[in-house]
Amino acid sequence: MSEFSPDILSAAARWYVALQDPDSARQARTGWQRWLDADARHRDAWAQMLALQQRLGSVPGDLLLPTLQAARQQRRRFLGLAVLLGGGVAIGAASAPPWRVLAADLRTQTGERRTLMLPDGGTLYVNTASAVDIDYGPAVRVLRLHQGEVLVQTAADTAGHRPFEIHTAQGRIRALGTRFSVRVEPGAAQVAVFQDAVMVQPADPTAPALRLGAGQQVRFSAQAVDTPQPVAAGQSEWINGKLVAIDQPLGEFIAELSRYRSGSLSCDPAVAHLRLSGAFRLSDTDAVLDNVAASLPVKIRSRTRYWVRVEPR
């Protein structure tokens, strides 16, 4: 890990806390950007602090904030946390730079979902642990999805004939008057269309675009688009606070449920093949796990609230 002065680390932590606070984030963003641009050491310290914060992402917010505040006060403690969590932190593994996620116009925490009316009258649903920028310009209406998942019900442009697009690190999706979702995953993005159609264009300009119709979904990288697959039943029900499983392997279901729960939630491979069906409320993941244990020959083992594993009974 690079060496930084206590003042630089303290400033990085102070800006982090300010940008996390909904009451101060908008006002603080301009000053934070000036600080970031003023010195390459500021950018390096910021990137390392964010990478460390991502390692700490499974820690609940009420514990994470005091940890970062302590880092403001003591450089040695800050570096010690990095060593404790495995030494130097890797930067650049995510689809979007960590600072873009933190500075996004709209962010949700783990388990949080939000609904927003867009400037043109469309509706934006933002899923758990997501980050998105809203950029309506004179020529095109763009959402930039840096992390997580969104679902959009588009509306006709009230200011002309600007196309509507969602941009990810892997490419862009242009709506053709539609209702669709986009989810960012490591190295890929997934698009599901529930109404009308979209055009999917990988970031590589030489890669062919694909028209995706209602009832279809597809994964794509920056270089290519996979073969389209049918949209799963209930796939968009997360906007209503439900996780739907139709004869789904338990391992896949637990992996999906883990997106909505802080900490570590895993499934023993010995029971990952078991099949599960039902509609489960995302507002209480503990109740979902109790339901799973009552429905299948499994038990829920918990070391703490933030370490849970589904195992054979």
DSSP code per residue over 79-134: HHHHHHTTSSPP-S-SSS-HHHHHT-SEE--TT--EEEE-TTS-EEEE-TT-EEEE
pLDDT given at position 99: 66
Q: What kind and span of H or E run contains 279?
A: strand 275-281
Residue 167 has pLDDT above 60, yes or no: yes
User: Who's near 297: CB < 8 A, 6+ residues apart?
Assistant: 271, 274, 312, 313
pLDDT given at position 91: 33
Same domain, 114 and 147: yes
Same domain, 121 and 198: yes
253-293: per-residue pLDDT in tens? 999 999 999 899 999 999 999 999 999 999 999 999 999 99
Bigger pLDDT: 168 or 99?
Answer: 168
Pick the last residue of a domain from 35, 64, 93: 93
Same domain, 175 and 85: no
Same domain, 131 and 190: yes
Pick the last residue of a domain from 202, 230, 258: 230
pLDDT given at position 54: 56
Over range 217-244, report the average pLDDT. 96
Q: In whole angstroms, what is the distance from residue 106 CA to residue 114 CA?
A: 9
| Chain center to CA of 157 | 27
The single-letter DSSP state of residue 236 is T
Same domain, 196 and 274: no
Same domain, 65 and 157: no
Same domain, 135 and 224: yes
Bigger pLDDT: 87 or 4?
Answer: 4
Over range 22-41, report the average pLDDT. 79
Same domain, 163 and 48: no
Over range 82-94, report the average pLDDT. 34
The number of folded domains in the chain is 3
Longest dimension (CA), the chain: 61
**CA torsion angle 18 24 29 30 (round to 10):** -120
What residues make up the domain containing 66? 6-93
Yes or no: say if 207 and 223 are a contact pair by the CB < 8 Å rule: yes
Same domain, 24 and 89: yes
Distances (CA, A) of 141 to 106, 119, 175, 196: 16, 10, 10, 18
Over range 36-45, report the average pLDDT. 83
Does 235 reside within a domain?
no
Same domain, 115 and 196: yes
Tell me the sheet residues that pair with 249.
275
Residue 57 has pLDDT above 60, yes or no: no
Tell me the CA end-to-end span of the chain in Å, nearest whole number.
44
63-76: per-residue pLDDT in tens? 444 444 444 344 33
Q: At residue 85, what are phi and psi to the nearest 5 degrees?
A: -90, 10
Same domain, 204 and 265: no
Q: What is the CATH number of the domain that holds 212?
A: 2.60.120.1440
Yes or no: say if 275 and 249 are a contact pair by the CB < 8 Å rule: yes
Does 28 reside within a domain?
yes
pTM above 0.85, yes or no: no
Q: What is the CATH number of the domain that holds 278?
A: 3.55.50.30
Give one word for 129, left, alpha or beta, with left for phi > 0 and alpha for psi -120 to 50: left
